Amino acid sequence: MATITKKELIDQISEKTKTKRIIVKRIVQAFLDDVIEELGQDNRLEFRDFGVFETKSRAARIAQNPKTLQRVQVPPKRTVKFKSGRLMKLRLREQDDKAIQNTGTDGSQQ
């Protein structure tokens, strides 16, 4: 298991698409920036096959300290959720199936 950085991915894409590195970098950065902006505006992003990004909110609420009985305001908070799409799930399942075939952990005959 390796960690791939933005820089490494940009190099890969530049080679694969035969596009200058500087152009790939600009577009990938614009893509990531735009996703952040849209999520900041509470928009949902749906990339077919890849997956969906959306924000989830926890409403503001009043909590009480059980010892002091003091009530405190807990501010609202939003987080980002990602749900993987069709192709991403398929790729992971393919890998899982290979693992099953290699180890025979599903008990079926190959």
Task: For residue 34, give every residue at least 6 positions away whose Cβ sits within 8 Å of its Cβ, in sequence order, or none.
Answer: none
Neighbours of 100 (CB within 10 A): 14
Cα→Cα distances 85→15, 27, 50, Å? 26, 22, 5
46 or 64, CB closer to a copy of itself? 46
Residue 21, interface with a copy of itself (CB under 8 A)?
A: no
Residue 30, interface with a copy of itself (CB under 8 A)?
A: yes
Residue 92, interface with a copy of itself (CB under 8 A)?
A: yes
In whole angstroms, give the CA distance from residue 47 to residue 38: 13
* Residues 81 and 103 sit within 8 Å (Cβ to Cβ): no
CB of 59 to a copy of itself, least distance (A): 9
7 or 67, CB closer to a copy of itself? 7
Report the interface residues with a copy of itself, using CB under 8 A. 1-6, 9, 12-13, 16-17, 19, 23-24, 26-28, 30-32, 34-51, 53, 55, 60, 73, 75-82, 84, 87-88, 91-92, 94-96, 99-100, 103, 105-107
